[in-house]
Structure 1
Amino acid sequence: MNSLSGKTIVVAGATGGIGEGITKLLLQHGAKVVALSRSEEKFESLRVYLSGVDTGNLITMQADLDQDQEGSYEVYQRLKERFGGFDGAVVTIGTWGNANRRLIDVSDELWDQTIKDNLTSHFRTLRTLVPLLKTDGALIHLSGLSADGPYPGAGVIGLTNAAKKSLVLTMAAEHESTGPRIYELIIGPIRTRERVARGVARSNWYNPEDLGVFISELIQGDTEAAQKPLHYMIQPGG
């Protein structure tokens, strides 16, 4: 099934456990995928993982999307000059860091670092990628389930997820009449390769490729789901 044949899709966080699976699915559906990562070294592992995929076209590009306005514009220019407009974009970035503690125990330093890593970086990424999308294109941003409720023991992660949800849905509303389409996808725990290897992945979790299937449908834009900006993939059958 080459439903994405002829489309160019950029994936921020393509070398991560979730990003690599989404990238694989998009390639299997025939897309040209521009995989972004800050680390050139991680691309080799991605290429090995995707070596058996004989459809689509993988292009890797080292780029740091978490920069100030001047740096963000330089990345925008590099992508614009090389690829023109994108049909789709996927944002699956973020880090847990040392935020596994009660809010009352969070230091100013940890607070500032977590906000930077798990909120500011997402804003900067969206600021760079949204203007690169075609008016009929689509951006899908992934956030964790803690966006919707209390997250005792790691509340600073939960509050950044809630803020990201608001950020993305606001951008979706601001672009509703002009395009591109912007989606927030709230996810539960995912069966990444790393979690499977550690023996902590459960059989009733979604695989990264499952996310990729749904994301490909949103990019195509011809399903009922594509008409709504907010979606959930928490547990199969749930």
Structure 2
Amino acid sequence: MQRLVNKTVVIIGASQGIGLAMAELMLSEGAKVIAVARSKDKLEQLAQRLEKLDIYPLDITQTDNIKPFFVWLQKQGGLDVLINNAGIMEPKGFGFIKSDNLQQSFATNLFALFPLSQFAARLMSKKGGSIINVSSVLAQKATLGQAVYSASKAGVEALTKNLALELAGQKVRVNAIAPGSIDTSLLDNLTEQTLAQTLADIPMQRLGLPQEVAQLALFLASNESQYITGQVIAIDGGWSL
């Protein structure tokens, strides 16, 4: 039985990695999926492979472009699920962090979630819906070189809980997924030594798979999680223990 029939799901950051795995799974569960990403070329290539996928190129750091997207979305029939999955990681020692690093990371990982969630909540206000933010176990776990990324993701978790409180009366659920080390291109910036040490610290002794994160997102998007809101759920092989 397909769990997302007649639901419209928007996935921000859907052109690769976890977002792509989510798009594929949500489509297989009967959802109308709209993939959003910065790269138009990547989205068009993805649409050729996934025939039923709708796409919308959007740089979420250019916040003036977010409202037109939701106006377009309303004309398409509304919204049931928003997944805020876009994120960037640029490891730097604390002494080498510059204002450009801060602005780029926070604009993508945190600041854009405010207008995205505001407009999504307005579309969901009459019938309810689910907002799923992708955080990271690094929001709670100190790691060398990850001060900027960790701080931005900690903001995502605080925002998730506050939104859940404010939107509960509108039947809009807000939760966060906190992946650990998942086998995606986000790990490309890590040195072999850092990656080896990370694997050694994970009780399950392996990287997670994008498809495993997608399964958790499916649960939070579906009616099976109707009484769950304001939660941050780690999926990390026990790394955060």
Which interval holds the TM-score relative to the shorter structure?
0.7 to 0.9
Q: CA RMSD in A?
A: 2.9
Q: What secondary structure sits across from 1:141 in the alignment? A: strand
Question: Which shows bigger deviation, 173-182 or 125-134?
Answer: 125-134
- Among 209, 212, 220, the alignment partner of 1:210 is 212
Cα drift, residue 236 of structure 1:
7.3
Q: What is the 5 A alignment of 1:61-80?
A: 61-68=56-63, 70-80=64-74
1:230 aligns with 2:232: yes
Unaligned runs of 5+ in 1: 52-56
**Corresponding position of 1:88:** 81
Cα drift, residue 71 of structure 1:
3.5
Contact 1:14–1:20 (8 Å) recurs in 2: yes
Q: 1:212 to 1:100 in 2, by over 3 A?
A: closer
Contact 1:89–1:139 (8 Å) recurs in 2: yes
Q: 1:29 to 1:73 in 2, by over 3 A?
A: same
Contact 2:47–2:55 (8 Å) recurs in 1: no
1:140 aligns with 2:132: yes
Q: 1:85 to 1:107 in 2, by over 3 A?
A: same
1:125 aligns with 2:116: yes
- Among 83, 102, 117, the alignment partner of 2:93 is 102
- Structure 1 moving runs of 4+ over 4 Å: 193-196, 199-203
Sequence identity (%): 23
**Corresponding position of 2:202:** none
Q: What is the 5 A alignment of 1:42-53?
A: 42-47=42-47, 49-50=49-50
Cα drift, residue 142 of structure 1:
0.4
Cα drift, residue 162 of structure 1:
0.7
Q: What secondary structure sits across from 1:186 in the alignment? A: strand
Query: Distance in 2 between the 1:220 and 1:117 partners?
Result: 26
Contact 2:174–2:229 (8 Å) recurs in 1: no
**Corresponding position of 1:20:** 20
Query: Distance in 1 between the 2:60 and 2:124 partners?
Result: 16
Cα drift, residue 191 of structure 1:
2.5
Q: 1:215 to 1:114 in 2, by over 3 A?
A: closer
Cα drift, residue 100 of structure 1:
1.8
**Corresponding position of 1:38:** 38
Q: 1:47 to 1:192 in 2, by over 3 A?
A: farther
Query: Distance in 1 between the 2:100 and 2:185 partners?
Result: 32
Cα drift, residue 175 of structure 1:
0.7
Contact 1:138–1:180 (8 Å) recurs in 2: yes
Q: 1:165 to 1:20 in 2, by over 3 A?
A: same
The code of the aligned residue for 1:178 comes to Q
1:59 aligns with 2:54: yes
Q: In the comparison of the two structures, how many residue pairs are matched? A: 227
**Corresponding position of 1:111:** 102
**Corresponding position of 2:180:** 188
Query: Distance in 2 between the 1:156 and 1:21 partners?
Result: 26
Contact 2:175–2:229 (8 Å) recurs in 1: no
TM-score computed with the length of structure 1 as normaliser: 0.82
Unaligned runs of 5+ in 2: 200-204
